[in-house]
Structure 1
Amino acid sequence: MAAGQDAGGNGSDRAKPTQGGVQSVERTFELLELMADAGGEVALSDLAEASALPLPTIHRIMRTLVRTGYARQQPSRRYALGPSLIRLGETASRTLGSWARPYLAELTEATGETSNMAVLDGAQIVYVSQVPSQHSMRMFTEVGRRVDAHATAVGKAVMATMPEESVTQVLNRTGMHPQTERTITSVNGMREELARIRELGYALDDGEQEVGVRCYAVAIPDAPAASAISISGPEARMKRIAVNDVVPLMRRLATDLGNELSATGEPA
């Protein structure tokens, strides 16, 4: 899903096959994405309403997904995402992280601080790549760690590119629990924060996830998944960074990375 795209999707838009695509494959991925948007579990009627596909078509696709392990049918007759997706997701995350590392390395070299790439997955941020600072006191976020979007610079950077309705859905699903006394815990407060981010061109985590930690982030434009890059470090050291100098660098690197990630790689 590209940054700025409605996380909830639109059934009529999804139902349109792309030129040169295989319709059955497109429909299969459409249903998987709808299931993910719904939190991983849906009824056939929900899929029919959201996708505008005929119910027999949906039923046939779901039977195939269940047989191959990419979906499972619950005792309630609802369908859930299946365990076979886990291996695909883990492999994709490692590949995504390897693509991001050269860009993060340049950012760390220029700033001296830890750089990260993170992706919005449902209502949470997942860190997929990191290049650590060489300082003895540095920030370390385990790759694969999941955190609520509202308390992170990367999460706020991503949400600033999304429609308001989708942002509200993300915030309502996590509950906006306070991580520190500085965490923004109201939807209206977050709306004001996202408006500032759009105006400034970057997001700030000022001790909102961890006390004493400061982080700057920018969204990755045109990426196939809503994502962002960031730098983070101890508050005192991060305050010495010239934001007006580092943000243009971050935006350039994010744009270059987004261009690489969005390349289709289709054969000529």
Structure 2
Amino acid sequence: MANGTGVQSVDRAIDLLEIMTDLGGDAALSELAAAANLPLPTIHRLMRTLVGRGYARQLPSRRYTLGPRLIRLGESAGRQLGASARPHLERLARELGESANLAMIDRDMVVYVAQASSSYSMRMFTEVGRRVYTHCTGVGKMVLAELPDQTVRDIVGRVGMPPATDLSITDVDDLLKEIGTIREQGYAVDDGEQEIGVRCFAVPVKDAPTPTALSVSGPAARVTYEFGEAALPLLHEVADTISKELLAA
């Protein structure tokens, strides 16, 4: 919400975009007014401006949704974050010997924004720009752990929980139970849930513009739980470095 240090109308417009995002991407005027604690005429005026600039759209139902111009901004922001984080991912890949990834939540899915490959011939190839479900990936479960439980329910309610493997979580209550564990321990594990024989350890990147996670992944024969225990301090250190650079930007 607006912090009182900037231009009020800009603060309010950004608030409305963030509220729509929290509500799943679309909202009625009354919902926006209640969440922003502003009168309907003010909300209508701000939304009319956002629609005119392409940052919001009005649906036939009269509800408002996020606009197409935000896609270009989000993609650009993701590329910039990926470019600045890549040297850190290369350090992880070099020191741990396995592939490192940076991913963030985007429209109910997780998108990979940067990657550094392992030096092994048998390694994980994650294409930058690839979108995956949140419930069956290490980075996905990690970003879900940064969100309220109801938001997690809303996300999987919209996109579903299709199993990528027989080990994928397919029940929202089971997912929330695991997310509770992730919040307590500070990291997430994908143990063959996205791809059989592959294990991934993921940690959060605090202060990112949207929930973001850093991970290391590889064949389960190499990326053991002992490997993860040894790798987690470095993962957290690199995540903290990326976070500090975001704050300084």
Under a length normalisation based on structure 1, what TM-score does the superposition of the two structures give? Answer: 0.86
Letter in 1 for 2:164: Q
Give per-residue Cα distances to partners, 1:84-138, cap 9 Å, x unaligned.
2222111111101012112111111111111101112242211111111222222
Residue 170 of structure 1: how far off its partner (Å): 2.8
CA shift in 2, pair 1:48/1:238, >3 Å: same
Distance 2:98 2:112 in 1: 16
The within-5 A match list for 1:121-160 is: 121-160=106-145
Secondary structure at 1:115 match in 2: strand
Matched, 1:248 2:218: no
- Tell me what 2:186 maps to: 201
Letter in 2 for 1:195: G
- Tell me what 1:173 maps to: 158
CA shift in 2, pair 1:80/1:167, >3 Å: closer
Runs (5+) with no aligned partner, structure 2: none
- Tell me what 2:203 maps to: 218
Residue 241 of structure 1: how far off its partner (Å): 5.9
Secondary structure at 1:180 match in 2: coil
Give per-residue Cα distances to partners, 1:147-192, cap 9 Å, x unaligned.
1111010111222333333333333333222111000111222233
| Paired residues of 2:103 and 2:112 also in contact (CA < 8 A) | yes
- Tell me what 1:85 maps to: 70
- Tell me what 1:8 maps to: none
Residue 240 of structure 1: how far off its partner (Å): 7.9
Letter in 2 for 1:179: A
Distance 1:51 1:192 in 2: 31
Aligned residues: 249
Letter in 2 for 1:172: G
Q: Which moved more, 1:177-186 or 1:197-206?
A: 197-206
Secondary structure at 2:218 match in 1: strand
Q: Which moved more, 1:236-245 or 1:180-189?
A: 236-245
Secondary structure at 2:194 match in 1: coil
Distance 1:61 1:191 in 2: 36
| Paired residues of 1:223 and 1:259 also in contact (CA < 8 A) | no
- Tell me what 1:31 maps to: 16
Under a length normalisation based on structure 2, what TM-score does the superposition of the two structures give? Answer: 0.92
Q: Which moved more, 1:71-80 or 1:244-253?
A: 71-80
Secondary structure at 1:260 match in 2: helix
User: What is the alpha-carbon root mean square deviation over aligned residues?
Assistant: 1.8
Identity in percent: 54
| Paired residues of 1:119 and 1:228 also in contact (CA < 8 A) | yes
- Tell me what 2:79 maps to: 94
Distance 2:104 2:72 in 1: 17
- Tell me what 2:57 maps to: 72
Runs (5+) with no aligned partner, structure 1: 1-13
- Tell me what 2:26 maps to: 41
Residue 25 of structure 1: how far off its partner (Å): 0.4
